Each structure stands twice: as C-alpha cells, then as structure tokens.
Amino acid sequence: MIEKPPYTITEKAADYLAKIVETVTRLEFGTGFKRDIKLHRENRVRTIHSSLAIEGNSLSLGEVSAVIEGKVVAGKQEEIKEVKNAYEAYDKIMTFDPYVISDFLKAHDLMTQGLVKESGRFRSGDVGVFDGNKPVHIGARPQFVPQLMEELFGWAKESELHPVLKSAILHYEIETIHPFADGNGRMGRLWQTLLLAKWNTIFAWIPMESVLYQNRPQYYQAIEDAREANDSAVFIEFTLSAILDIIGIQAKRQLDDPVNDPVNDPAKALLTCIKMNPTYTYQQYADKLGKSNATIKRLVQKLKTEGLIVRVGSDKTGHWEIK
C-alpha cells in the first residue's frame, strides 16, 4: 500500500478551493480568456520570468520576452539559457503525464539542459538549502530519491483528492524531497502548473508563478512552516490563495476590457458582463461597458429574444440567468 504524504485539508483551504472552482468557471465560460492568444503569450512570458526570478535570474520581464522572441539580449549567457530552456519546457507542458517519472525527468532535462551535469537525472549526491552556513533544509539521501518519487507519483495517481489540492501537495513534496542537484524549485512550480492544466487547460496560460514571485518571503515561509509541522497544510493554503489571486486578476482584466472579445460584439460583451454580474441594473451595465442606458436595454432585449438570458424575480430585486 502506498503511503500518502502528510497533509491536512483545512477549512480555509476548502474555502479557497470552492472559490477557485467558481472563478475558473467564470473565467472559462464568462470571458474571452480561452481565445485571447495575445494574453496567453504575455502570461507565458510572465510565468517564465517569475519562476526564474525566484531562483535569482536577473533578466527583466522585457529581456525575457526579447530572448523568447529570438532577439539579442546583453545578459549573462547562463541566464539567457535558463530562459530558453524554461520556454521549451512550458511549451511542451501538455505533453507530459504528471504521474509518470520518465516525463518528470524529461521535463527536468528540458529545463536544465546545458546548465547542470545531472540534467534529466535524479541527483547522485546530497544536497541542501543554506542560509549562509546554516542549513535550512537537507534533501532526502540520494539512494532514497527514486523510491520516494515513485511513491509520491503513485499516491497522486491513485488519490481521489481534487487536482487543485493535489497539485499543491506535489509542489511541496518535490521541494521537500529535492530530487535534483539543481532546478527543484522550477520543477515544483512547473509540476503544479501541469496538474492544474490537466484539470483545466486554461491553467497552461495562467501565470501563477508571478504571484509566488511577488510574495517570495511568504512563499519561503510557507515551505519552512510546513516542514516544521511535518504537514503541508500551510503550504496548501498559501498556494491556493496565490491561485485564487491570479485567476481573479485574469477574470477582472477580461471583464474590465470587453473589447478583448475577439468578435468585438457589444451583445457578446454585455453577455459576458451579465455572467459576471447578474444583479446589475441597466445603468450599471451601461457604465461598465461605456454604453448608453438605451443601448443596454436594446441589447438586453436582443439577448432575451435569442433565448440567451432570462430574468428571474422582479426588476428591482431579481437577477439575470444565462440560458
């Protein structure tokens, strides 16, 4: 029997999960996010910049974008190589099976090729995280790493835990086992993104790493607190909070800029606004979309005639429902 990692699902984590599911549904079906290719590209650049910056890469967001576009950048060659490698790994993210060790190693090879000696292989020596000369964390002994990773992936594959929760636990356990000589942080974040993207493909284009980068002290502290407690509960809460933050930002950006809808249809823009704000008044819809009250009433009538929306309750206290 495969032993499960030590974790507790707190009430706060459960609340975050419910809100994530709700917000993802709105982002997927209530906005044009899935079709916004330009935003997908921008988010991929943010993902790569943030994940590498957490590890000390000094290239700016603009420089990372330039490297990905194939432009010449005056920077350290190792840091430029990190960007190119990370781009290739994230570009192939949906081809990986999150529960297959060989795919995990293949992704590490893409991420660290030409940067570390044991690229694509579990480490052969001891490794640790240090604060000066003080050891902060010592990874598992190298002879136990393959078995620990097999057990972790075996548990994850068999577990019926929600993928969002499971992704946070795998992220934490990868950091704890520290299976590689280098690149453990990058792989932990990549693998959490992979599990999320296998649950809902929009996560392949959600820059969760940018929130982790902006909150680095809390990110490190969550890992440390979880290790001290021998329970990943606090790390689960922190990463779910980060996920909720970033998908909320993405949803707000889409709603605040209705012209992002590729069809640029005012009726579609109103439909998106109704999905996100079903209790708004005509005037509130008008203010949000920059239209006149009369135009909103005309568009509402059009959507009603087409059977796309229906009014539930009174004009004052009711709400709109999408058919």
| Tokens read off for 225 | 């607190």
For residues 268 and 228, state if they share a domain: no
Give the residue numbers spanning the domain of 112.
Answer: 11-256
Question: Shortest CA distance to 275 belongs to which of 251, 257, 259?
Answer: 251
> Which pLDDT value is given to residue 276?
79
Q: Is 178 a catalytic residue?
A: yes
CATH of the domain at 89: 1.10.3290.10
For residues 282 and 202, state if they share a domain: no
> Which pLDDT value is given to residue 277?
84
> Which pLDDT value is given to residue 63?
96
Residue 52 included in any domain: yes
Residue 182 included in any domain: yes
* 8 Å CB contact between 213 and 245: no
> Catalytic one among 49, 108, 171, 178?
178
For residues 268 and 194, state if they share a domain: no
Q: Could you list the pLDDT tens digit for every one of the 323 residues in the chain? A: 578 999 999 999 999 999 999 999 989 888 889 888 989 999 999 999 999 999 999 999 999 999 999 999 999 999 999 999 999 999 999 999 999 999 999 999 999 999 999 999 999 998 876 666 666 677 889 999 999 999 999 999 999 999 999 999 999 999 999 999 999 999 999 999 999 999 999 999 999 999 999 999 999 999 999 999 999 999 999 999 999 999 999 988 877 664 444 345 778 888 888 887 888 888 888 877 778 888 888 899 888 888 889 999 888 888 998 87
| Tokens read off for 147 | 């078995």
For residues 301 and 213, state if they share a domain: no
How many other C-beta atoms are found inside a 10 Å radius of the C-beta of residue 189?
A: 24
> Which pLDDT value is given to residue 60?
95
> Which pLDDT value is given to residue 262?
38
- Measured between alpha carbons, how far is 13 from 241 in angstroms, rounded to an integer? 8
Q: Nearest 10 degrees: CA dihedral of 154, 157, 162, 166?
A: 40
